[in-house]
Amino acid sequence: MDASDVLLAQWTEQVKQIWRGMHQYRQEGLALAVLGIVLAGNAVIQRVAETLHERLSNPSKMSSYERQMQRLIDNENINVTTRLRAVFAACPSLLGPTWSHVGPRLYPV
């Protein structure tokens, strides 16, 4: 198990504690998305998927990560922007110095 896998497992447990009422797969998807954004350094879906594919030992294809991220964003029951803002407000160190805000598209400045 690689360091990114360990980090994902620990982060997923944190997300599950933060949003206990959210469905398990949504919690896991949100945790994966946040980790991917942090590791990639931006929130462009293709780059996040590529980074997850490179860093995680899971044999998922890059296109699978892209579809998973897109389903999370498209899910009307989850306000992704609000959820991610809450995560990054609680953990500002995740964003690093190049991010000044978290907007609807989550692009770095």
Q: In angstroms, rounded to a whole number, what is the distance separating the alpha carbons of residues 98 and 51?
A: 18
Q: In angstroms, rounded to a whole number, what is the distance separating the alpha carbons of residues 62 and 69?
A: 11
Q: Can you read off the two tokens belonging to residue 82?
A: 């609000």
Give residue for tokens 């504690």. Answer: 17
Q: Which residue has the higher pLDDT, 52 or 87?
A: 52
Domain that holds residue 35: 3-94
Q: Considering the domain boundaries, does residue 33 fall inside one?
A: yes
Q: Considering the domain boundaries, does residue 108 fall inside one?
A: no
Q: Provide the whole-model pTM.
A: 0.70
Q: Considering the domain boundaries, does residue 88 fall inside one?
A: yes
Total domain count, the chain: 1
Q: Considering the domain boundaries, does residue 109 fall inside one?
A: no
Residue 87 pLDDT greater than 90, yes or no: no
Q: Considering the domain boundaries, does residue 10 fall inside one?
A: yes
Residue 108 pLDDT greater than 60, yes or no: no
